[in-house]
Structure 1
Amino acid sequence: MPDVEGHPAIHEMDIGSIFAALADPHRRHVVEQLCAEADSAERTCASFGLRVSKSTLTHHFRVLREAGLIRQIDYGNSRKVTLRRRELDNRFPGLLGLVGAQAAEQSPTETPCP
């Protein structure tokens, strides 16, 4: 059962939900950006530069959160996201490496996930 904020426990993460979340180019861009950063990097939702409405942005981050790819953290009037790298590596070894490698293929300036 997901926690109060909607983050699934590691044993509840489903590869189908993760693939469905990553199928959208906007959501995949978010994960690729987080892959290229340090393990504990936190970013605001707006910092990814997605050119979508606020409601669509909210939807994309909800899908990523419910799939288990990101963790959203509330800081009063600010919400930040971080990649659930450790949990994903434990549950689906190599998945983030594939996502990062795909991003590096498309844009040689980005660094793939280790």
Structure 2
Amino acid sequence: MRPPFHPDRDQLDLVTILAALSDPTRLGIVATLSEVGEVSCSSFGDAATKTALSYHYAKLREAGVTRTRIDGTQRFISLRRDDLEERFPGLLDSVVTNARRTKLGGAAS
């Protein structure tokens, strides 16, 4: 099995990242990962069907938002926080903060 594609740090593109983050399911995955760190891809099983989750994971990975690590038959997903911060300082924190506020139904302060 070949390893999944991850763009290099210098290939990260703001428009592609924002497009990946525009979906509520993907935004929820990113917000969760920002809290818990690396998790098994099966951790989000209640968020959508397995096929839909695979699609969302691929979109996030190909945009450079997440990294997928394969260990045996399991796949683990984590944020590429350092790469994103280096390329687009403050972007990830801003997106996650906004996602949490929206999820809680609160207004931005």
* TM-score normalised according to structure 1 size: 0.82
Q: CA 1:26/1:107 → structure 2, altered by over 3 Å: closer, same or farther?
A: closer
Which of structure 1's runs of 4+ aligned residues deviate more than 4 A? none
Q: Note the aligned Cα RMSD (angstroms).
A: 1.5
Give the Å deviation of 1:50.
4.2
CA distance, structure 2, for counterparts of residue 57 and residue 104 of structure 1: 20
Q: Which structure 1 residue ranges, 5 or more long, are not aligned?
A: 109-114
1:1-80 maps to which residues of 2 (within 5 A)?
4-37=3-36, 41-80=37-76
Larger helix percent:
2
Distance 1:25 1:50, change over 3 A: farther
Contact in 2 for aligned 1:26/1:50 (Cα 8 Å):
no
Q: Is the 8 Å Cα contact of residues 25 and 47 (structure 2) preserved in structure 1? A: no
Take 1:56 and 1:106, find their aligned partners in 2: how far apart are those partners?
Answer: 22
Q: Which ranges in structure 2 are unaligned for 5 or more consecutive residues?
A: 105-109
Equivalences, count: 102
Q: TM-score, normalised by structure 2?
A: 0.85
